[in-house]
Chain A
């Protein structure tokens, strides 16, 4: 796939320092946030300007070379892995191009780090709402590709709900503008189609994103439950009571212990079967009434204790434990798999029981840390990938958990994407006809299917696709 002449042509566009070809240099790009997969790109190229991105994409179009767009590489589904193809790193396009505070909009390059955008607009009393746990590293371009979520998406919505417009270079080099920040745009919702397309529809050159006003006030509660069942019931009860928390997160005992044993210790009760981290925000008036109501509901559902963060530092600490929980599990074992299924919220108690049963059956430790309010589960299984027997049991458990979630009426991924990791599960939820329709949509954007080939839709599901050069 990769030739000397292509390397030279790329170098001509971006300069020698922005093109990596040596295996030792490429090693770091052989993985993303998903453990267990290693794919070596043929070459990695890092344009620094919009024009360089366009020129690179046009060169690859001319040569019919497949490529994989990549932001920070924090994705959890293997979506940014390139096998022998060109890896197109967008993380050097990291400028906030403009901020329109009055209309709460910002135009950003794809490589802007999620939390940097929030910092850049903080002086206006604004923030960018989608907050994946990797927000200190992940980029807006990657968030757009994955339709990233995060704890606060329960109230504020996912990336899709926050993108007004995009400039995109299609894989054949044509530049198109999707959506509009200047009022409505008649016609099909191509922003909606592009967000979450996992890099298969082209490369975003800039994104116009909606900003949210900082809430006047916030109340963060930690509720301690003697069983996961009671915590799950409280989750449903809070939402059924008409309260829409900004976030409603659950951590089970295994997670709590991992966090408390780490440098991210947040003061979670280590003997709790589960804790709920609940945040309400918005106008100051009325917030205490909501917090009181939540307190009462948790107690009614069997909470042993409910406490409210007294100040910003306690709130930060409670959130750090949650956001760094994956990191904390690094102490437990060398490898970790994380799933991302979503189930109807009311099915939480039974599905959590099933997950526990599957863990016991496969002699694995399953740690649950997830967006309970959305029913978006993240069962984590720490394991040793160098132990073939354990690895095999992990695979069995993952498949079994996925089937339980789908049977409960759920889906296989809520925010991490299909990538490579969940290809095998697509047929659990979509018919071949549905996947074929998805392939047809992709072909409108990328008829040669060169942008991030082999991701999202299993090759067997699309005959036309299976026969394309990129898939072979």
Chain B
């Protein structure tokens, strides 16, 4: 393995990772898992420690387009996977916020998703297998390389979203989808009043649409995305030509519709420069309009902030710029009374507002897989 400088180790392969974790475990030396580096500022603040940089665990291990599955090292970037699969008219339907440098390992470990989750599922639904090294240095594999698998207890779901606190993911297999024949985006004007917005969202969810994604975007974000200066619903319609034509008609029956370049989704993904604060707040989808109003009024004075919401999942996401940090603790507190807040990137003072999982099962799995709490110490708050 390669030592970059005093505090970063860069293993060449999974065996290196195992050896290094074992070595660290014998010295009770904590480790910060990193690859692309784009997630290092996310999650609860981690106690500073030696960085285990797994970016060299990179490359597609197996990809047979006919099976719509792909196995890759965890340091493989989403951009690499996108390029390899696009050639065959396929994609990995995961579009977490950030750029294409995000790695497969980090996306799964943080269970990060974007607008596509509304139709294609969360990382937990897309991951088929993982190989990882736990905090004791044991190498384990969960799941497999096929699309359906119930053999053994589910280590895949356990590792996905565990933020590295149960093991270092070294390789993963994911399910791919064929890219739709047509993929077009329309903007639907969103009314300002709470009741009329609730009506629109209800009608949208009930309408016969097969949207790949549908996000409610506030006026501030709309401006930044270059799609006007009013709140709107961005609807990404997909299917064959007949289906999309019919869906467009359905959308027009709901309000004023205008076509938007599909590149808007890429802009939404990457409109957060380094140092941006982000959090999500959610309830049942039927409560979205209400939640949206709370989020909008709480953040109204933050001119450079922005809100968007995944209509199908009932999740509002706040994007706030660095200078907003002083107001964020109060905002987080208010939002936490309106729904469940999940912090992505927050200034230190905000984390104390959130409730970290400290239940018996959370503490128990951490102890079972990383008894010395060496991996990403502190990243899950209470449990870790």
A contact set with B: CB distance below 8 Å: 100, 102-103, 105, 146-147, 149, 153, 157-158, 160-161, 174, 176, 178, 180-193, 195-197, 200-201, 216, 236, 239-244, 282-290, 342-346, 371, 374-376, 409-418, 422, 426, 429-431, 433-438, 440-445, 456-457
Contacts and interface: CB of A to CB of B under 8 A. Distances in A.
A189 B314 contact: no
Given A161-B121, A410-B144, A457 B152 contact: yes
Contacts of A181: 284
A102 B202 contact: yes
B13 to A, nearest CB: 17
A103 B148 contact: no
Residue in B151, B155, B162 whose Cβ sees the most chain A Cβ within 10 Å: B151
Q: Which of B134, B144, B149, B242 has the most CB of A within 10 A?
A: B149
A183 B178 contact: no
A188 B67 contact: no
Contacts of B140: 431, 433-434, 436-438
A344 B64 contact: yes
Nearest to A415: B150
Interface string B62-91: 001111110000000000000000000100
A103 B121 CA distance: 16
A174 B361 CA distance: 11
A434 B245 contact: no
B154 A431 contact: no
Nearest to A425: B151
B208 interface: yes
Contact of A192 (B141, B149, B157): B157
B286 A242 contact: no
12 contacts: A178-B361, A183-B281, A188-B357, A189-B161, A192-B158, A239-B178, A240-B66, A243-B178, A284-B208, A286-B242, A430-B151, A441-B158
Contacts of B144: 342, 410-411, 429
Given A157-B125, A160-B157, A437-B155, A374 B147 contact: yes
Contacts of A376: 148
B3 interface: no
A374 B148 contact: yes
Given A187-B357, A286-B239, A435 B283 contact: no
B210 interface: yes
Nearest to A343: B146
Contact of A242 (B178, B282, B283, B359): B178
Nearest to B123: A189
B347 interface: no
Given A186-B354, A346-B66, A283 B243 contact: yes
Interface residues of B, number: 81
A437 B369 contact: yes
Nearest to A430: B152
Given A157-B125, A240-B178, A346-B64, 18 more contacts: A160-B154, A180-B340, A182-B283, A183-B282, A188-B357, A192-B158, A196-B154, A197-B153, A240-B65, A244-B178, A283-B247, A285-B242, A289-B243, A342-B146, A346-B67, A410-B144, A415-B150, A457-B152
Contacts of B141: 430-431, 434
B146 A410 contact: yes
Nearest to A158: B148
B246 A283 contact: yes
A121 to B, nearest CB: 15
B45 to A, nearest CB: 15
Contacts of A241: 178
B246 A344 contact: no
Contacts of A189: 111, 124, 157-158, 160-162
Given A239-B68, A437-B369, A444-B364, A289 B240 contact: yes
Contact of B151 (A178, A282, A429, A441): A429
Contacts of A239: 66, 68, 178
Given A285-B245, A286-B239, A188 B369 contact: no
A137 to B, nearest CB: 20
Nearest to B363: A444
B241 interface: yes
A418 B124 contact: no
Given A242-B180, A244-B178, A193 B154 contact: yes
Contact of A196 (B150, B161, B342): B150
B228 to A, nearest CB: 28
A187 B380 contact: yes
Contact of A290 (B162, B240, B315): B240
Contacts of A346: 64, 66-67
Contact of B240 (A186, A286, A414): A286
Interface in B125-184: 125, 134, 138-142, 144-158, 160-162, 166, 177-181
A437 B369 CA distance: 8
A255 to B, nearest CB: 20
Contact of B340 (A186, A236, A289): A186
Nearest to B246: A285
B40 interface: no
Contact of A344 (B145, B244, B383): B145
A183 B365 contact: no
Nearest to B339: A183
B360 interface: yes
A174 B342 CA distance: 26
B240 A183 contact: no
Contact of A188 (B66, B244, B354, B365): B365
A442 B361 CA distance: 11
Contact of A103 (B154, B158, B286, B380): B286
A130 B160 CA distance: 23
Contact of A434 (B68, B152, B356): B152
Which of B149, B152, B179, B243 counts the most A-chain CB atoms under 10 A from its CB? B152
Contacts of B314: 103, 183
B138 A436 contact: yes
Contacts of B178: 239-244
Interface string B344-381: 00000000001111011110110011000000000010
B152 A182 contact: no
B21 to A, nearest CB: 13
B362 A174 contact: no
Contacts of A442: 153
A286 B243 contact: yes
B369 A440 contact: yes
Interface string B268-282: 000000000000111
B36 interface: no
